Amino acid sequence: MNNTNKNLKNYSSKRLEKAPAYFFSELDQIIAKHREEGKDIIRLDIGSPDLPPHPSVMEKLYRSSLDPSSHGYQSHLGTKAYRQAWAKMYKKVFDVSLDPKKSFIPLTGTKEGIFHLHQACIDPGDVVLVPDPHYPTYLRGTQIAGGTPYFLPLRPENNYLPDLDAIPANIASKAKILWINYPNNPTGASAPYSFFEKAVEFAKRNNILICSDSAYTQVTFDNKPTTSIFQVPGAMEVAVEFNTLSKSHNMAGWRIGVLAGNHPILDTFLSLKSNIDSGQFLPIMEAGITALNIETKWIHERNQVYKKRRDLVLSYFKDMNLQIQIPEAAIYLWIPIPSGWKSKDFTNELLNKTAVSIAPGTIFGDQGEGFVRITLNKPLAILDQAMQKIIKWWENDK
């Protein structure tokens, strides 16, 4: 609500002038208005899984919450069992050994962890190397901390990998953080092991902290987990990794994840976090332990659901002569749109004409112009219905 009384102080901080409201928060309001008008909106925009967690995870949450002693404050380090479960997962999935005593800080979702890491690490004027396109919180965290983003273009001709050799020496020398995110949001691209090796070498040479966002490492269509940065020798000296159960175990709304590594920034981050929250809810941690110990078969079966959805969506584009890189991981398709359209105009018109909502590429950065992101977060029947509407409008009505 706007107040027109000019005598009142401006209570909004100048920090937020560089960081507008989160796109999906505003989109929620737009879609709510459409639904008030009686429209049945199919949302393929936000990256929120529609599939439930394993039944044992929900049962554990329920049983744990019945214990009267489980409702108090928890340590900012979480429980010993919770950290051990993450260490066990890293060893099982990536053959990486991490010390459960000191290598994990629980997060109430990696979004808050990513944002707050900038508060712990960045001073005004510090440079942060941000891929473009990117998960928006990398940029917003940088801006609100007073940092200076330097964008690394991710282009299809480079398989959506940043060209680290193209970063000017004067920028690399000022940079404190390099963000990497593979499998990638929004493009769905994966990175070869050689890229992680090169990133570690670059970080060592320039004294930069690599922040690896690993939200999708177990969401792969060939059922082979992708790379953890810690698999590269020497990475522990220059890297931290954000990991989450949001996508790997269908627990996006639970807000559960970790910051992992042996870098000294973990101590600084923990000090900051102790002033912000009061730890993770114990039943959620205990349910997270159950999730981390679920048999691999369940993850593989879930991944095949996403693969079938990916193939269905791609089948609608096969005769349209579009240059689409077929993703082997994550839950997105990154689709080029017809020339002459702006991404936001395209998605707005699509929503108004078809009641299907997809994400404009530009919310992920300037390099997203000319693209849209489709999320594979609906059952095949609904996804099929949405794609019929999209293609009919795309080919005939636009």
Residue 11 pLDDT class (50, 70, 90 cuts)? confident
CA angle 282, 288, 294 (to 5 degrees): 150
At 59-97, the pLDDT tens digits run 999 999 999 999 999 999 999 999 999 999 999 999 999
At 194-238, the pLDDT tens digits run 999 999 999 999 999 999 999 999 999 998 889 999 999 999 999
Q: What is the mean pLDDT of residues 18-35?
A: 82
Q: Give me the pLDDT at residue 397, please.
A: 62
Q: What is the mean pLDDT of residues 33-59?
A: 94
Residue 16 pLDDT class (50, 70, 90 cuts)? confident
Q: Give me the pLDDT at residue 5, please.
A: 61
Q: Give me the pLDDT at residue 398, please.
A: 53
C-alpha dihedral (186, 187, 192, 196), degrees to nearest 10: -40
Going from N- to C-terminal start, the domains of the chain cover 15-52+297-397, 55-292
Q: Report residue 137 CA to chain centroid gap.
A: 9
Tell me how crowded residue 67 is: count the other CB atoms within 10 A of its CB.
11
pLDDT at 19 over 80: no
CATH architecture entry for 55-292: 3-Layer(aba) Sandwich (3.40)
Q: What is the mean pLDDT of residues 93-122?
A: 97
CATH number given to 15-52+297-397:
3.90.1150.10
